[in-house]
Amino acid sequence: MKTITWIFALILITFSSLAQDKYSPVIKQGTKLHYFALTPDGQSVPFIASFDSVAADYIRIGWNIEGLGTGSWVMKKASLDNGVNGFWAQPMPDNAQELPDDQTVLLFSKAQWQSLQKNQKADFDQTTYTVKQASEQQQLKVSGKVVDVLFLESSTGNTHIWLLNNPAFPVILKIAGNTGGHVDLELLSIE
C-alpha cells in the first residue's frame, strides 16, 4: 500500500512541477511583442507591438511594421470592457487610430475574459471559441519555454487562438486559420 501511495504522490508532484514550468510573461507599459503577420496571400511580415500607454480605462499599443511605418491603436474603456471584434483594418502610418467601442486589437475584452472563465467559451469576430486542451504540438513556445496560454478553438474547428492566461492582459499571442481574409499572427518573442 505504501508503494502505491508513493507512486501516486510522485505522479502528483510531476504534474504539479510541469504545470509550474509554464512561462508567464509580464505585460506592462513598455512591453514589446515581436510577431510575424501571415497574410492570406502567403507573405510573412514582421512587426512589433508595444504597450506604450497602459491604464485601467485606456491602452495605446504602438506598432512598427516593416515596409509600412509606425503608428498606434487606441482602445478606450468601452473597447476594453466589452469589445467582441478584432480590429483588422490596414494600419495607418503616423496616426493614432482610435478603435470603435466593439473592437480591440491584440487583446480580449474583460467581458470575453469573464466568459472564458465562467463558461469556457467566448465570442470573437462573430464566432464562438471554446477553451480546449492543447496537444503537445499545439503548445505555444517562446525561447524554448512553454507559454501559459488558453488554447481556443472556433466552433468550426478551423481557427485557433493562443491567448495569454492573464486576466489583466489577455493578449492574443497567436492566431491560426483566421477567417474573413484576415492575417494570422505568430509571436516570436517578448521583451
pLDDT at 20 > cutoff 70: no
Query: Binning pLDDT at 50, 70 and 90, where does residue 7 land?
Result: very low
Which of 157, 115, 142, 176 is CA-nearest to residue 24?
Answer: 142
Average pLDDT over residues 8-33: 68
Predicted confidence at residue 10, as pLDDT, reads 37
**Three-state SS annotation for 108-123:** CCHHHHHHHHHHCEEE
Q: What are phi and psi of 156, to 5 degrees?
A: -85, -15
Q: What is the predicted pLDDT for the residue at 12?
A: 38
